[in-house]
Amino acid sequence: MKKTLIQLADGRELMYFDERDDAVRSEIDRRELPPPPPPSELRYDPLVDEWVAIAAHRQTRTYLPPSDECPLDPSSPERSTEIPAYDYDVAVFENRFPSFSHRPPIAPPVAPTPMSPVRVGAGRCEVVCFTSDHNASFASLSPQRVRTVLAALADRTAELSAMPGIEQVFCFENRGEEIGVTLRHPHGQIYAYPFVPPHTSRMLAAARRHRERTGRLLFADVLEAERAAGVRVVAANEHWTAYVPAAARWPFEVHVAPHRHVLDLTDLTDEESAAFGPVYLDVLRRCDALFDGPLPYIAAWHQAPARHPDRELAYLHLQLTSVRRAAGKLKYLAGSESAMGVFINDVRPEEAARMLREAQA
């Protein structure tokens, strides 16, 4: 794989990850662009001990443009996009409308009350384009392209984790307008957070309690139990298992985990990276065969935080969740889920796993 770094017209970075070592990336960004926006503002919520990002500039981001105006397509002699090349394999660039930014603020943020401290929303947000084909999907990628995507995510995880102030690197894909996708081109995102997100904090706290009680690694024990039970396993090979968790919150939820304890994407061996694609692509194609069209989903890579004292208790895995509960029906986060954080699942996890196993991928 060959990595090439260029600058866009407004100073943002773009990286090409090419499967051919002789790829030449000499195209330049011909657009005239305003400077990138200042970073967001982080406000502390003392009632739940969490930070909230206020990023008002994101209101102006591109929203569901027609296919011939997609900013993630390759450029052409007639039209310049976010990606100057006329074709590409995988491209990663700084988000034009970031939730977090490493650029300096215009002025220091001011706390709205003494009980709500503020800080600059320092960090970084990047967009990951999986393919130049606007009409493709992750499920339609080749195993080789999945390896290239994984290599790009591992590269960005390493570089972003090394940035001062970055506590967690989160790689994810939102798919489908039901999820809130605003650009239809197959792509994912990377958030480099200046704090450890609540979900990671809760997982590490649970892992710490389990280690203190048993001396063992929590996620490894859960994975072993799911593999032994077998009833919720959807797909597997020598290095990975995909299963519906016993306490799935979503109608269709699949965890894809390596059999070896791995902290983040940079720790995967070549064999593990090569083995991921066949299992994950099988799961995605089964998901798309379930109902009346492509399944909307969020695919989230859970990685170890960069500097947390319990970092070694983390366990790399991908969590795929969908709001689709039946053909033509969505699962909405209503009162119990949104207000109290108590999920009520409409589909038994064992039934979801059976449906996925029987779906004709």
Q: Is residue 56 within 8 Å of 71, Cβ to Cβ? A: no
Task: Point out which residues pair with 193 in neighbouring strands.
Answer: 168
Query: Measured in Å, how far apart are the chain's first and last C-alpha atoms?
Result: 29
Query: How much is the pLDDT for 195?
Result: 97
Token pair listed for 338: 């949104």
Please report the pLDDT score of residue 292 as a whole number.
76
Parallel/antiparallel/unpaired status of strands 329-330 and 90-94: unpaired
| CA-angle at 247, arms to 243 and 252, nearest 5° | 55
CATH topology of domain 199-358: HIT family, subunit A (3.30.428)
- Specify the DSSP class assigned to residue 167: -
Would the CATH topology of 2-195 be identical to that of 199-358? Answer: yes
Nearest by Cα to 196 from 174, 221, 168: 168
Exactly one of 102, 185, 187, 255 is catalytic; name it. Answer: 187
Q: Are the C-beta atoms of residues 204 and 308 closer than 8 Å to each other?
A: yes
Contact 92, 17 (CB under 8 A): yes
CA–CA separation, 115 and 194 (whole Å): 20
Q: Enter the pTM of the model.
A: 0.97
**Is residue 177 within 8 Å of 64, Cβ to Cβ?**
yes
**Do 247 and 239 touch, CB atoms closer than 8 A?**
no
User: One digit per residue, pLDDT tens: the chain, 361 residues?
Assistant: 999 999 999 999 999 999 999 999 999 999 999 999 999 999 999 999 999 999 999 998 988 999 899 999 999 999 999 999 999 999 999 999 999 999 999 889 999 999 999 999 999 999 999 999 999 999 999 999 999 999 999 999 999 999 999 999 999 999 999 999 999 999 999 999 999 999 999 999 999 999 999 999 999 999 999 999 999 999 999 999 999 999 999 999 999 999 999 999 999 999 999 999 999 999 999 999 999 789 999 999 999 999 999 999 999 999 999 999 999 999 999 999 999 999 999 999 999 999 999 998 6
Say which residues have a Cβ less than 8 Å from residue 181's Cβ, sequence separation at least 6: 174, 175
Separation in Å, CA 190 to CA 193, 245, 281, 302? 10, 25, 21, 12
Q: Read off φ and ψ for residue 198, nearest 5 degrees.
A: -55, -40
Only one residue has tokens 């320092």, namely: 122
Please give the CATH number for the structural domain made up of 2-195: 3.30.428.10
- Is 194 buried (19+), middle (13-18) or exposed (0-12) by CB count in 10 A? buried
Annotated catalytic, 187?
yes
pLDDT of the residue at 106: 87
What residue ranges in the chain does DSSP mark as E strands? 2-7, 13-18, 40-45, 50-54, 90-94, 118-121, 124-129, 168-175, 187-193, 233-236, 240-243, 252-258, 297-302, 317-322, 324-326, 329-330
Is 128 in contact with 187 (CB distance < 8 Å)?
yes
Per-residue pLDDT, 117: 96
Query: Within a 10 A sphere around the Cβ of 69, how many other Cβ atoms?
Result: 10
Domain map (residue ranges) of the chain:
2-195, 199-358
- How do beta strands 118-121 and 40-45 pair? antiparallel
Residue 361's pLDDT is 67
